[in-house]
Amino acid sequence: MEKPLNLDHIDRAIIEELQRDGRASYKSIARKLGVSDGTVRLRTERMMDCGYLRISASVNPLYFENTLTAVIGINLEKKVDQQIMEWVSRCSGVQSVINVTGRYDLMVELSVSSRSKLKRFLVDDLQALGGVVSTETYLYLEAINKWVEHKEHSGSFKG
């Protein structure tokens, strides 16, 4: 059985350095923290292997005027399950899918390059999913420190 992840001040400092610059070398991070580059490499790999840390490129979804980013609350007829969440996550422009408590069953963060792509998700994709009772869409007008993955893919529901 794998040992549970317990973060210490070195792990947190490594994460802070990677958040500042995800391209920073282990050697440069080690120099700043006063540890060996092997320590930085092993700790980073451990956090990545257990699923706690991921290093990726992110884009500012509001950089271009024609980009639309939204949070969409969705109510479904039936109970949310992993298969539904995974299907929604494969729809074009979907950044994240969250099963939540409260007013909605799911919250979806979407970033697309046009109104027609937003409409495709709200009308075509959700109709293909089926069982959608209602949606409510909140478009981002401005944001501070908002970064997303650049994603363009689509899926079809086989449920």
Tens of pLDDT, residue by residue over 21-70, are 999 999 999 999 999 999 999 999 999 999 999 998 888 888 888 889 99
Percent of the chain at pLDDT > 70 equals 92
In one-letter notation, the amino acid at residue 98 is I
Give the pLDDT band of residue 97 (cuts 50, 70, 90). very high
Domain 57-159 in this protein, CATH class: alpha beta
C-alpha distances (whole Å) from 90 to each of 130, 148, 151 are: 15, 15, 10
| Fold that domain 9-49 belongs to in CATH | Arc Repressor Mutant, subunit A (1.10.10)
Query: What average pLDDT score do residues 106-130 get?
Result: 95
pLDDT at 107: 98
This prediction has a pTM of: 0.77
For the chain, the average pLDDT equals 90
In the chain, domain spans: 9-49, 57-159
